[in-house]
Amino acid sequence: MNFILKMAWRDSRASRRRLFLYSLSVVLGIAALVSIGSFSANVRQAIQAEAKGLLGADLFVTAPAPLGAPVTDYLGSLGGEVSREQMFSSMMTFPEANRLRLVQVHAVEGGFPFYGAFETDPAGAPGRLRAGGNVVILEPTLLAQFGLRVGDRVKLGTTLFTVIGAVRKVPGESPGVAMMAPRAYIPMASLAATGLAGREALARYRAMVRLPAGRDPDGVIREMKERFPAIRLSFETVEERKRNLGRALANLDGFLSLVGFVALVLGGIGVSSALHAYVREKIATVAVLRCLGASARQSFAVYMAQGLALGLAGACAGGALGVAVQKGLPALVRGMLPISVDFFVSWPALLRGTGAGVVICLLFSLLPLLSVRRIPPLAALRSAVAERVGMAPDPWRLAIIASIAAAIAGFAVWQTGKISVGLGFAGMLGLGFGVLLGLAHAVAWAARRFVPRGLPYVVRQGFANLHRPNNRTVLLLLSLGLGTFLVLTLFLVRTTLLREIQGSGAAGRPNLIFFDIQDDQIDPMERVASAAGSPVVERAPIVTMRIGSVRGVTVEKLLANKGAGLPDWTLRREYRSTFRGRLSSTEKVVEGAFVGRADPGAGPVPVSVEEGLAREMHLHIGDEIDWDVQGLPVRSRVGSIRAVEWRRMEPNFFVVFPEGVLEGAPKTYVAALITASPADSARVQRAVVDQFPNVTAIDLGLVVETLDGIFSKVAFAVQFMALFTVATGLVVLAGAVLTGRHQRIRETVLLRTLGATRRQVALIQLVEYAVLGMQAAVVGGLLAVAGNALLARFVFHIPATASIGQVAAAVAGVAVLTVATGFIAGRGVVDHPPLEILRQET
């Protein structure tokens, strides 16, 4: 033991500068792991904060009846904060205009929103609302429609309220709700005086809860369901809101896991290529040690001790560098960020990165070090160790390869939180590894067999370097190829995700909706809107109806018999259904087939039911529903079940009828427009409402803006993490090329001693690196295209996009980087006087 440490120390002494170069690769790898992990944590946190702003609280608890004392007491006991809200529809009188309008009243109390902001115009309104009194904050369309100003009066029930502002943005509202009716916010305390409390139909009572840190909303929901089984409570959480935003946020999570995984493997590549080169350099020393009687174990232990020290020092330095990058980079890029992300050092990410780094360092360094055990003492007699033909595979080697595979798969599963996805990542990596390994052997073989003798000497030498003993073909092809594969996969996935996110944004989406348009008003209304500069982009007829019976059982019976399992709201509600001949761009059939046209005489009408509703009502294809269409019975059967992207602002519907059935029924229209600016929106609203006073407008501009804010954050996160990881990856790869430079020093020097010019020596290296760089880049690129397609299909569930131009540019980039780095690394060798190096290396 004593000898081992002494030898390890002494041996490191003279080559410390070189050891430093190697440890640089280790440091870079671990720094990548740490800073990527920490940035991921930042980005996740920023997005989570944004998502919390969507709900404004950790949890909504909603019921169709007042939440009793047991429920409110329980919520109060959680140690967070609770706010209350009561919502119902009511007529509002606008005395100045002498008109009536149905509004959605929100009577609120408490500190809500806990996250995000209640934004109004003017800004102070929420504070005045909380202070109480007969004040109201109105939907801006109402102000526009009735020419109201702050300070004007409106009447709810028997009480006059003073308008104190217009709603700009309020957390917790989903766009679907906003579409039902314009909103009016009043203090809860003022509700009693209106005489409306308790009389209104279909009221909803809600508690908005902020939970103490660390309390899991889903746990609270489970406990409440157990404690209050008799009360019909519904819950909403931030996670659910995130899910409703579509795949973008879930995909961001998946993407960040992928980034972490790529960082780990990049770290591994950095560490193992450095140690591999280092061990190769030590073969002569080990052989001498063996001649002097050191056992295989002893010589292994000497270098293991060095490897361990290297790993530990590298991990510490890498961790520190990661923190430095974390601290320094945001300051550099802050000005360029489209959004604000709070950058902080994530200590768990730091610990995890460093820990994973040490483990990876250990495993990856064991692999090249194992060969130390097999360096024969004979190597001291003959410097070039002949290929060891017929040597049995080292069982330790296999064991270590297996542990590396297990560690990587384990890390992937840990990162992604899903066994299948984690194993998928690891499997993809394994596949890439196999392909590249095969390629490396094929290249070495081909270089031996097929290089024409007619080629110039330097070219032949360059090719020969690919198969000669001590070649770097396998190592470089593996590290460069895998690096390219991973980095480019990340880049392509980024493109794929960004395209998807762009599709989710507001560009080209309606942001102004008119509804309650009468049958005979729709065509003139479209003309008015066009004249005002914002043509209608989409319109849909709406026929209101109620459910008469489900699968032959009448609603009355179902309601009387609570055990039927169908939620009341699905049975009682007034359905606003539409009819059309095709699916809209926001819909996708998940079961059955959409029928676009039906004959009223030909049996039950095939309708398309929205997925969520179908789940609530336990509906299956073929189930019959009888509708009461304003007095007229219509029998239908479920023909298809649709998935609807509710996050998009186009009018969406629970039930879609085919053409040919409802055309004669009394109907209204909803029309969607795109306006360029708030001023445009106000102008169109005024023009339309002036002509058609019964029509209601809802300006979705701000809702759309909120969602866009989130999507742009997600887009930024994807963009930033991808580019940062790609940049880190390139540095690690350059390091891998660099660490091997000493391997060719002796030959290069000998060639120069024999009269080769510096140009010739440089050209030989150029050929070698160009062949390796190109092969690695091309194969890595192809693997990345496949990887992107697989990830898009199985992890992100979106169509893959990969532009040939991008792939080609990336492939060319990696090839150039390899050649350039190889060239620069070689220059140091070429510039030294041969004598100096010959003496050093003997």
Partner 1 sequence: MSIQAMLRVERLTKTYGTAAGPLTVLHEASFELEAGASMAIVGPSGSGKTTLLGLCAGLDRATGGSIDLAGERLDSLDEDERARVRNESVGFVFQNFQLIPTLTALENVLVPLELRGERGCEPQGRELLERVGLAARADHYPVQLSGGEQQRIALARAFINRPKILFCDEPTGNLDGDTAGSMVELIFGLNRERGTTLVLVTHNFELAGRCQRILRLRNGAVASDERTPGAA
Ligand X SMILES: Nc1ncnc2c1ncn2[C@@H]1O[C@H](COP(=O)(O)OP(=O)(O)O)[C@@H](O)[C@H]1O
Q: Which residues bind partner 1 (CB under 8 A)?
A: 1-3, 6-7, 10-15, 284-285, 287-298, 376-378, 380-382, 386, 389-390, 839-842
Q: Which two tokens stand for residue 720?
A: 């930033």
Instruction: Choose among partner 1, ligand X, none what residue 804 binds, the Cβ cut-off being 5 to 8 Å by kind.
Output: none
Instruction: Choose among partner 1, ligand X, none what residue 11 binds, the Cβ cut-off being 5 to 8 Å by kind.
Output: partner 1
Instruction: Choose among ligand X, partner 1, none what residue 13 binds, the Cβ cut-off being 5 to 8 Å by kind.
Output: partner 1
Contact 167, 179 (CB under 8 A): no
Instruction: Please state the closest distance from residue 251 (CB atom) to partner 1, in A.
Output: 52
379 or 717: whose CB is closer to ligand X? 379
Instruction: Please state the closest distance from residue 288 (CB atom) to partner 1, in A.
Output: 5
Residue type, 832: H
Instruction: Please state the closest distance from residue 450 (CB atom) to partner 1, in A.
Output: 16
Instruction: Please state the closest distance from residue 460 (CB atom) to ligand X, in A.
Output: 23
376 or 535: whose CB is closer to ligand X? 376
Instruction: Choose among ligand X, partner 1, none what residue 376 binds, the Cβ cut-off being 5 to 8 Å by kind.
Output: partner 1
202 or 386: whose CB is closer to ligand X? 386
Contact 25, 276 (CB under 8 A): no
Instruction: Please state the closest distance from residue 376 (CB atom) to partner 1, in A.
Output: 6
How far is residue 613's CA from residue 616's CA, in Å, rounded to a whole number?
Answer: 5
16 or 597: whose CB is closer to partner 1? 16
Instruction: Choose among partner 1, ligand X, none what residue 582 binds, the Cβ cut-off being 5 to 8 Å by kind.
Output: none
Please report whether residue 383 would count as binding ligand X according to CB under 6 A.
no
How far is residue 160's CA from residue 152's CA, in Å, rounded to a whole number?
Answer: 10
Instruction: Please state the closest distance from residue 841 (CB atom) to partner 1, in A.
Output: 8
Residue (of 650, 355, 685) closest to 508 by Cα position: 650
Instruction: Please state the closest distance from residue 754 (CB atom) to partner 1, in A.
Output: 19
Counts for the chain of helices (H) and strands (E), in that order: 27, 21
Instruction: Choose among partner 1, ligand X, none what residue 2 binds, the Cβ cut-off being 5 to 8 Å by kind.
Output: partner 1
How far is residue 308's CA from residue 320's CA, in Å, rounded to a whole number?
Answer: 18
Rg (CA), the chain: 35
Instruction: Choose among partner 1, ligand X, none what residue 453 binds, the Cβ cut-off being 5 to 8 Å by kind.
Output: none
User: In DSSP terms, which residues pair with 628 in a beta bridge?
Assistant: 546, 633
- Non-local (6+) Cβ contacts of 440 within 8 A are 473, 474, 477, 478
How far is residue 757's CA from residue 760's CA, in Å, rounded to a whole number?
Answer: 5
Binding mask 338-377 for ligand X (x = CB under 6 A): ----------------------------------------
Instruction: Please state the closest distance from residue 721 (CB atom) to ligand X, in A.
Output: 51
Q: How many CB atoms lie within 10 A of CB 436?
A: 24
- Non-local (6+) Cβ contacts of 62 within 8 A are 204, 205, 206, 207, 233, 234, 235, 236
How far is residue 67's CA from residue 73's CA, in Å, rounded to a whole number?
Answer: 10
Instruction: Please state the closest distance from residue 455 (CB atom) to partner 1, in A.
Output: 22
How far is residue 150's CA from residue 172's CA, in Å, rounded to a whole number?
Answer: 24
131 or 392: whose CB is closer to partner 1? 392
334 or 382: whose CB is closer to ligand X? 382
Instruction: Choose among partner 1, ligand X, none what residue 340 binds, the Cβ cut-off being 5 to 8 Å by kind.
Output: none
Instruction: Please state the closest distance from residue 471 (CB atom) to ligand X, in A.
Output: 17
Instruction: Choose among partner 1, ligand X, none what residue 230 binds, the Cβ cut-off being 5 to 8 Å by kind.
Output: none
Please report whether residue 419 would count as binding ligand X according to CB under 6 A.
no
H or E element: which one contains 567? Answer: none
H or E element: which one contains 418? Answer: none
> Biggest alpha carbon distance in the chain?
108
H or E element: which one contains 640? Answer: strand 632-644
389 or 560: whose CB is closer to ligand X? 389
H or E element: which one contains 215? Answer: none
382 or 793: whose CB is closer to ligand X? 382
Q: Give me the torsion for CA of 222, 227, 230, 231, rounded to 10°.
A: -70
389 or 602: whose CB is closer to ligand X? 389
How far is residue 817's CA from residue 810's CA, in Å, rounded to a whole number?
Answer: 10
Instruction: Please state the closest distance from residue 379 (CB atom) to ligand X, in A.
Output: 10
Residue (of 471, 414, 390) closest to 768 by Cα position: 471
Instruction: Choose among ligand X, partner 1, none what residue 296 binds, the Cβ cut-off being 5 to 8 Å by kind.
Output: partner 1
Instruction: Point out the residue whose Cβ comes nearest to ligand X.
Output: 386
Please report whether residue 386 would count as binding ligand X according to CB under 6 A.
yes
Q: Which two tokens stand for residue 258?
A: 């992928």
Residue (of 566, 390, 466) closest to 822 by Cα position: 466
283 or 819: whose CB is closer to ligand X? 283
19 or 362: whose CB is closer to partner 1? 19
Residues from 289 through 318 that contact ligand X (CB under 6 A): none
Instruction: Choose among partner 1, ligand X, none what residue 557 binds, the Cβ cut-off being 5 to 8 Å by kind.
Output: none
Instruction: Choose among partner 1, ligand X, none what residue 402 binds, the Cβ cut-off being 5 to 8 Å by kind.
Output: none
Residue (of 579, 259, 604) closest to 415 by Cα position: 259
Instruction: Please state the closest distance from residue 392 (CB atom) to partner 1, in A.
Output: 13
DSSP 483-499: HHHHHHHHHHHHHHHHH
274 or 286: whose CB is closer to ligand X? 286
Size of the site for ligand X (CB under 6 A): 2
Instruction: Please state the closest distance from residue 316 (CB atom) to partner 1, in A.
Output: 24
Instruction: Please state the closest distance from residue 376 (CB atom) to ligand X, in A.
Output: 10
How far is residue 533's CA from residue 681's CA, in Å, rounded to a whole number?
Answer: 10
DSSP 596-626: -B--TTSSSEEEEEEHHHHHHTT--TT-EEE
How far is residue 726's CA from residue 329's CA, in Å, rounded to a whole number?
Answer: 15
292 or 560: whose CB is closer to partner 1? 292
Q: Which two tokens stand for residue 214?
A: 């660390």
Q: Which residues bind ligand X (CB under 6 A)?
A: 382, 386
